[in-house]
Structure 1
């Protein structure tokens, strides 16, 4: 037969054309002009339906081969491209990589909720917000304070520059964003200006601006509106300078009678900003990373309040969130203020929830948010601050809860109303990834929930609220009990006299 030979010839011709077809999406030339010189044209034009099906199958194979040629890279080139991308990724060198980072950029999910809480408004510390026009006035004050420091100490500028140059590489590793395009000289200049500015603020806050040589009308130290804003900006995660830079410059510029460390001066400087008691202490066995880390160390609970939290975290049992104050009161849970130095020292004993006093002011929201953001980013710390805020968020659901805690002197705020305080706690934990089982307050939450689940506690609380809530209710209850006792006695004597008459 002629058809098989011609069919094989046709298929061989098509493979030849495809083999020499250039890369890219191009259509093959019309077949009718290319094969006009083939023999048996009439036979090819009179193909049966079986031959048409066979041709359609070959056309489908041709389209599949066209799709393969449409790809921009061959398999070998594609593998080579991926290997080149892998070669551009830096190798993991353990502690020399991101494990040394301590000053982070706030995640976008958190920043979008509270932009102003993470963004400095008055002063810029470090490279993240450097160069913005809004900070130019404060940059001029930094130069003024540096000149004042050099004149007071009598040291040469080269001494400080050499000390900052020795710490440049270590300081750069402290920042998580490595793509900061700052030259070495600009980076060292930034370190010196920011460190000098911070140390002068600390000295003036402790010794006074007159003792440090500043006039009473200084725009930084004498203005009541500027200094609180500066303090708030200096406790933002993105606005930090490594503590070892401050320690080095402080050692060069301090006076012989200065015995306090930079961390101790920082606690005194931020004393009015930190929520809680003013007698907060810090464990200096663990070196601080920056001011935000130092403040966090002063807020950590005592060791006796954190015992057992690891065991509970390993059990991975489902744990309910904390009940609100109103619900706990309905289960006979009492609240009592303690005199602990740290407001995170919370415990539960014999139906009483002991909570230290917490002072809330305008900067509390920003401090709490930045502390939680630091705990989310820094892998070497626990989540104690996040645990405390989540616990208080469970306690406070409405202004009535805030009013009750304020009545018992557990909360003290300078905000406009209880509604603002309730909204503050209810919005702090947004976009914060947190496991309630993995916190130091998990045992307290578990004990409170077990106490609330007991029916007798709820019945006793209901009886107390309905019948012992005020003196008149107590009098009414006593009178009712007395009347019931008289009625029972009268009934008894009536029955007794009927069955046992005296005569």
Structure 2
């Protein structure tokens, strides 16, 4: 029994040794050897070191490209395609050349008509709309008149437009990307010629249509009749624009100087002059420069801010801000307007701390008055010694769409390189804060600051209150931020409120003044009588 038992143990021992050798051999094949030490056999004998593989060979052997990879699903392939498209789009930077934008839905809610043409479409974004097709026949008449007057063939204009196709297409957001080459060229030539005919004929009060361009005095469009008002309003809309370089080229071909630039900007400023919201929209010297710059030899023109311009709305915006010196924030106010003992905590609530200033009614309670600032620069607002000097502004039936489209342009074209990138928005928000009710409008109207042709003061208040409802705006990035800080500092001091209350209660009209003077006189007499009575009591006469 002992021998058999020892034999069985020996058998199991030999089997265990073989299994261990097999496991060790497999581990040696799967585990890479150390870089600096030779491999050793399991029985303890040293073996010659293995030769190291080159780094390139190891990396090639371990590279994912040479390793088997499972086939991507259709979903993953579709996602990879979208990522490749996004990568190419990001490299091309298509938005860097945009200038004619679709107005965002957040801005146009409730004011669709303010951004949509009602009489004529200019450019591809509203081309082909059913209610605007009636004006197309007048566009073809304008093109025919140009070819007849100049003796040119239409291919000269179509070829020039096709040469600018890629550059013009990149200016539009949306629909122009899907237009064919021929359709886009036809749109640029047809609409561009129509715009130029309107610009050139509007000089000298519309006499140019008959005397210079050859239209009939009874023309339904080119005779400065009622339709011109609706057409002008449509041509100022953000979505209804043509790139200025297209108009410059078309006008240059007509004048025999395709390289000219600037004349269209001069014509645009003159054409949109009636929409200016100021007392003196165009100064006499500017008007003479405009008229002298448009002609057969025009090589330079009146440029309000002397910089590259995008389209007619951009030209109009720059002409609004024309000045030798651009709007800049006022100098910082003094640290303390009144002694510290009169200072009180800010009276504005949290929801109003994002406003520029308080409304007119609240400012009047704090002793701040408004006066008319005699200047044609409607944005030039000043504050001095409790008086807010505001230039006069004219409000008419086209003011709403005018300001809405200017604000939309500043919101969309955030990289405006010219000074005053958001000055129109700053002014609109300032006036929105200043006007809360019809009483505020009435006060400003009585001071000669607001002149309006609307039905009531309430309509004017509603107009300003609706201009900037969904506008993204940083108060610190405004040329009026320093002025607003001055006004609010003055507003926050109790002394000014007391003085204003005294004036409002006792000096509001001549009869109140007479009453106060009489009361003061009687008070002085009473005090004098009391003094002499007391004096005679303590020092009786001898």
Q: Same fold (TM over 0.5)?
A: yes
Does residue 1:299 correspond to 2:320, yes or no?
yes
Partners of 2:489 and 2:360 in 1: CA distance: 16
Q: Within 5 A, what are the aligned runs for 1:321-336?
A: 321-336=356-371
After TM superposition, give the deviation of residue 75 of structure 1 in Å. 8.9
Check 1:255–1:201 CA distance in 2 against 1; reply closer, same or farther (3 A cut). farther
Moved more, 412-421 or 223-232: 223-232
Partners of 2:270 and 2:373 in 1: CA distance: 23
- Cα-to-partner distance string for 1:174-194 (whole Å, 9 max, x where unaligned): 112266321111111110001
Partner residue, 1:249? 250
Query: Where does structure 1 lack aligned partners over 5 or more consecutive residues?
Result: 1-72, 313-317
Identify the match of residue 123 of structure 1 among 120, 127, 144: 120
Contact 2:278 2:393 in 1 (8 A): yes
After TM superposition, give the deviation of residue 219 of structure 1 in Å. 0.9
After TM superposition, give the deviation of residue 333 of structure 1 in Å. 1.2
Check 1:81–1:138 CA distance in 2 against 1; reply closer, same or farther (3 A cut). closer
Moved more, 367-376 or 293-302: 293-302
Contact 2:201 2:209 in 1 (8 A): yes
Partner residue, 1:21? none
Partner residue, 1:216? 217
Contact 1:309 1:439 in 2 (8 A): no
Moved more, 380-389 or 215-224: 215-224
Query: Where does structure 2 lack aligned partners over 5 or more consecutive residues?
Result: 1-69, 284-302, 334-352
Check 1:387–1:203 CA distance in 2 against 1; reply closer, same or farther (3 A cut). same
Partners of 2:243 and 2:467 in 1: CA distance: 27
- Cα-to-partner distance string for 1:123-152 (whole Å, 9 max, x where unaligned): 001111111122222111111110101111
Q: Within 5 A, what are the aligned runs for 1:416-495?
A: 416-495=455-534
Partner residue, 2:25? none
**In structure 2, the residue corresponding to 1:404 is in which secondary structure?**
helix
**In structure 2, the residue corresponding to 1:456 is in which secondary structure?**
helix
Partner residue, 1:376? 411
TM-score, reference length from structure 1: 0.79
- Cα-to-partner distance string for 1:412-463 (whole Å, 9 max, x where unaligned): 1110110100111111111111222221111111110001111111111111
Q: Within 5 A, what are the aligned runs for 1:152-301?
A: 152-177=149-174, 180-206=177-203, 207-222=208-223, 224-254=225-255, 261-280=263-282, 283-300=304-321
**In structure 2, the residue corresponding to 1:122 is in which secondary structure?**
coil
After TM superposition, give the deviation of residue 321 of structure 1 in Å. 3.6
After TM superposition, give the deviation of residue 278 of structure 1 in Å. 3.8
Contact 2:209 2:223 in 1 (8 A): no
- Cα-to-partner distance string for 1:253-287 (whole Å, 9 max, x where unaligned): 1389x998111111111111222244347534212
After TM superposition, give the deviation of residue 95 of structure 1 in Å. 7.3
Partner residue, 2:436? 397
Partners of 2:245 and 2:231 in 1: CA distance: 21
Contact 2:102 2:239 in 1 (8 A): yes
Identify the match of residue 365 of structure 1 among 368, 382, 400: 400
Contact 1:403 1:418 in 2 (8 A): yes
Q: Within 5 A, what are the aligned runs for 1:54-73?
A: none
Check 1:172–1:78 CA distance in 2 against 1; reply closer, same or farther (3 A cut). closer
C-alpha RMSD over aligned residues = 2.5
TM-score, reference length from structure 2: 0.74
**In structure 2, the residue corresponding to 1:216 is in which secondary structure?**
coil
Contact 2:97 2:171 in 1 (8 A): yes
Identify the match of residue 113 of structure 1 among 110, 115, 121: 110
Check 1:234–1:478 CA distance in 2 against 1; reply closer, same or farther (3 A cut). same
Partner residue, 1:499? 538
**In structure 1, the residue corresponding to 2:477 is in which secondary structure?**
coil
Identify the match of residue 89 of structure 1 among 86, 92, 101: 86
Partner residue, 1:44? none
Check 1:450–1:91 CA distance in 2 against 1; reply closer, same or farther (3 A cut). same
